[in-house]
Amino acid sequence: MRIVVALGGNALLRRGQVPDAQAQVDNIRVAMRALAPLTDAHDLVITHGNGPQVGVLAIESAADARLTQPYPLDALGAMTQGLIGYWLLQALGNERPYRQFAAVLNQTLVQAEDPAFGNPTKFVGEVYDEATARALADKNGWQVKADGTGWRRVVPSPQPREIIETRLIDGLLQQGAIVICAGGGGVPVVLTPGGDLHGVEAVIDKDLSAALLANRLGADRLLVLTDVPAVMEDYGTDRAREIRRATPEQLRALDLPAGSMGPKVEAVCRFVEEAGPGAAAAIGNLEQAEALLDGRAGTYVTAR
């Protein structure tokens, strides 16, 4: 099968963990050990988040007295694609040295008039207490919002419309390569009136970009891998239960958190609604990736 995998942020950095390089490398080694068996029998595309990493680079850039202004988010997104792509490429290559892997730096087209630019919602960077977050916001011109028990920076997250390098990714798959791409949802770009592409200040939701890419590539499966076993109904209560099989209509009827499970559910719904017969998506734990393919684990989503 042709499979697109969206790696959750926990595969790179666990919540509350200091974003040191070695900690992330160690986490990625564990994650790629779990994912490597899928490369033995399937064509695989791997996407990933970049929120914490963009946050680290943004702070460093803002603190650099040599710069007249910090590097923009599109440039920071490109940096993280290269950084994380390298880590994933190396870890997978160590697990399967006889396979070919490619890390692709790619752009994702968004619309300049997307309302998300006026309502930042995408969390990036580290978690702070409220006082620290507000102080950083005042100093750097950021916007911050509550994220659970902490506070984080928020940036615009426009809807992905096209993955610019889709044909290149498809060509690499046809040549037998495992492709790492669309990191952080891809570098956000808009089309100028003159027909040029131009980067914008945003971070795209990686799960929605993964769904778009999966549809454009004609994938058979979209796997959204996270640190929970499945989508939960009544999550956080004593009535919580795993949803094992569902349709988009059933999942959209749930009241899910917009900052965590909500985008993941929307991504799998979009994929199965647009995909061809036999396609399916799943949300579940990274360690159960193989079992997610046919519904033996996680939440298995089909059009009907």
106 is catalytic: no
10 is catalytic: yes
Percent of the chain with pLDDT over 90: 79
Average pLDDT value for the chain: 93
139 is catalytic: no
pLDDT in tens, 243-290: 999 999 999 988 776 667 888 999 999 999 999 889 999 999 999 999
Q: Work out the average pLDDT over 1-19.
A: 88
Annotated catalytic residue, options 8, 9, 77, 284: 9
Distance CA 248, CA 226 (A): 19
Task: Record the pTM.
Answer: 0.92
Q: How far apart are the first and last CA of the chain?
A: 20
Annotated catalytic residue, options 85, 106, 122, 125: 122
Annotated catalytic residue, options 125, 186, 264, 285: 264
Q: Are 67 and 76 in contact (CB under 8 A)?
A: no
pLDDT in tens, 200-219: 999 999 999 999 999 999 99
Annotated catalytic residue, options 51, 85, 206, 215: 206
206 is catalytic: yes
pLDDT of residue 110: 98
The secondary structure of residue 9, as a DSSP letter, is G
Q: Which residues contact 162 (CB under 8 A, 6 or more apart)?
A: 108, 109, 212, 216
Q: Are 17 and 127 in contact (CB under 8 A)?
A: no
Which ranges constitute the DSSP H helices of 146-256? 166-174, 206-216, 248-252
Task: Give ∠ CA 261-207-254 in degrees, rounded to 5.
Answer: 30
